[in-house]
Amino acid sequence: MNKRITIILGIIAIVCIGFGGGLYMDKKAEEKAKEEQILQAQKSIALFVVQNYSGAKSIKFSEFKYNPETGSWHVSAKVNQDNLITFSLEQLDKVEVDSIGTRTNPTTFKLEKLKDRDKTLDDIDILKEN
């Protein structure tokens, strides 16, 4: 009888460990996918900044935050270390440059709006805030 209980408990333990491992791996895959989406969103936002504001040399992003009430993502960035701009995105996985919402304080955001939108990301540093 004790041998049978030990075998059953062993099988239950193995199933639980397997199930827990599967959940862990799924969670890691989700985190990796989200990280990739954030990197792509940062590149799209950086391109938006370069194409819309003059003199952008570096962009330091804060943490991306999701607002469940509006279903949108928000992130702030410091352009050239002292120009704060906040972005609103409808989706994190498909950021289109023309659908990025921005908010700035005109007294502290000193970059000029550009009319030429043919710039690239070649000369800009994209940084992540710790």
How many CA atoms are closer than 13 Å to the CA of 25, on its beta-carbon side? 6
Q: Which domain holds residue 49?
A: 2-128
- pLDDT number for residue 11: 85
- pLDDT number for residue 63: 92
User: Tens digits of per-residue pLDDT, 18-51?
Assistant: 888 888 887 888 888 888 888 888 888 888 888 8
Within 1-57, strands assigned E span none
pTM of the model: 0.71
| Number of independent structural domains in the chain | 1
For the residues 2-16, what does the mean pLDDT come to?
84
Percent of the chain as helix, strand, coil, to the nearest 5: 40, 25, 35
DSSP 3-state of 109: coil
Whose tokens are 């043919």? That residue is 118
DSSP 3-state of 47: helix
- pLDDT number for residue 60: 92
The values of phi and psi at residue 58, to 5°, are: -145, 150
Mean of the per-residue pLDDT values of the chain: 83
Which is nearest to 84 in space by CA: 99, 100, 105? 105
User: Tens digits of per-residue pLDDT, 63-111?
Assistant: 999 999 988 889 999 999 889 999 988 877 777 777 788 888 888 888 8
